Amino acid sequence: MTATKNDNLKKFGFAFPAGSPHVSRTMMLEELSILLDYMNDASASRDDYGRAIIEANCLGKRTGKNRLISRRYLVELYSLAPNLLLFRALLFFWQRDKAGRSLIALLCAYARDPLLSASAKYILPLPAGSLVNRQSMETYLDTLAPGRYSLGKLASNAKNLNSTWTQTGHLVGRSSKIRNRAVPTVGSVSYALLLGYLIGERGVGLFQTDYVKLLDCSFERAIELAEDASRRGWIILKRMGDVIEVAFPNLITAEEMGWVREQS
């Protein structure tokens, strides 16, 4: 993506940092779940989320420093800013699709964490049943930037990433993990389609993006789940033969639609 396009996508909540929360943490699914259950307020601001973590200690951290670190990484992964479409849409689908929460969180983190998105290129092509351990992930990460990470940091990165992919259902097992198929849901597919829409895909192309692939979801299954989402009123899907149109009137504001048109 060009620098200009990246700048435009940042308005929606996409992020393109040099670093990655996964050098120190996993996707923090448990912490995110606790925080969102505690807040349960669609009108909350990023400052409100911060106060819940720091002042109310809703995550139950032992020290003030740990609270600050948790807030920092949750912001890096998810923004925690309802004025940004990525997080606002996460909340929308999170509240409506409990079974899809881990994949919904993954989609948001994937759009904001370059190391996580890079690791997907290793995990997703693996056939079901393939062995994945810390060493194999270390080897892959080292090929991305030879010599960038120390052996200790490579091990930490690999452990955190493998844990994230386990939390989402792409891997199963403990130290030696096995490639498993994630289970796409109505909410996670809808969110994936929204992210594809924001980067400029339309029609059939919306069902072929990296975001849909992230869910281990076939084109046919994605269509079925999108049709279900349309019946529920979450998105609008119109299909006539090979022509497909998807819209998100419940999610995208008029101002954001202006940004979408600029993006196009």
pLDDT tens digits, residue range 215-258?
A: 999 999 999 999 999 999 999 999 988 899 999 999 999 999 99
pLDDT attached to residue 2: 63
**What is the residue-wise DSSP string for 129-152?**
T-EEEHHHHHHHHHHHSTTSS-HH
pLDDT attached to residue 43: 83
pLDDT attached to residue 242: 85
DSSP code at position 82? T
Q: Which of 83, 119, 113, 161 lies closest to 14 in space, CA to CA? A: 113
Rg (CA), the chain: 18
pLDDT attached to residue 38: 97
pLDDT attached to residue 6: 83
Q: Which residue has the tokens 């892959």?
A: 140
C-alpha span between 52 and 82 (Å, rounded) = 15
Tokens of 214: 């992230």
Residues 219, 208: contact at Cβ < 8 Å?
yes
Q: What percent of the chain has pLDDT over 70?
A: 98
Residues 134, 175: contact at Cβ < 8 Å?
yes
Measure the CA dihedral 109/220/93/36, to 10°.
Answer: -50
Tokens of 262: 């600029």
C-alpha span between 212 and 215 (Å, rounded) = 5
Question: In a structure prediction context, what are the per-residue pLDDT tens digits for the chain, which is 264 residues long?
Answer: 566 678 889 999 999 998 899 999 999 999 999 999 999 887 899 999 999 999 999 999 999 999 999 999 999 999 999 999 999 999 999 999 999 999 999 999 999 999 999 999 999 999 999 999 999 999 999 998 888 888 888 999 999 999 999 999 999 998 789 999 999 999 999 999 999 999 999 999 999 999 999 999 999 999 999 999 999 999 999 998 889 999 999 999 999 999 998 876
Q: Where are the alpha helices (DSSP H) in the chain?
A: 3-10, 29-39, 46-54, 64-78, 85-96, 101-110, 114-123, 134-144, 151-167, 186-198, 210-213, 219-232, 254-263
Residues 20, 116: contact at Cβ < 8 Å?
yes
pLDDT attached to residue 256: 94
Residue 64, helix vs strand vs coil: helix
Q: Which of 92, 83, 93, 100 lies closest to 49 in space, CA to CA? A: 83
Question: What one-letter code names the amino acid at 227?
Answer: E
Other C-beta atoms within 10 Å of 174: how many?
8
pTM of this prediction?
A: 0.95
**What is the residue-wise DSSP string for 185-197?**
-HHHHHHHHHHHH
pLDDT attached to residue 24: 92
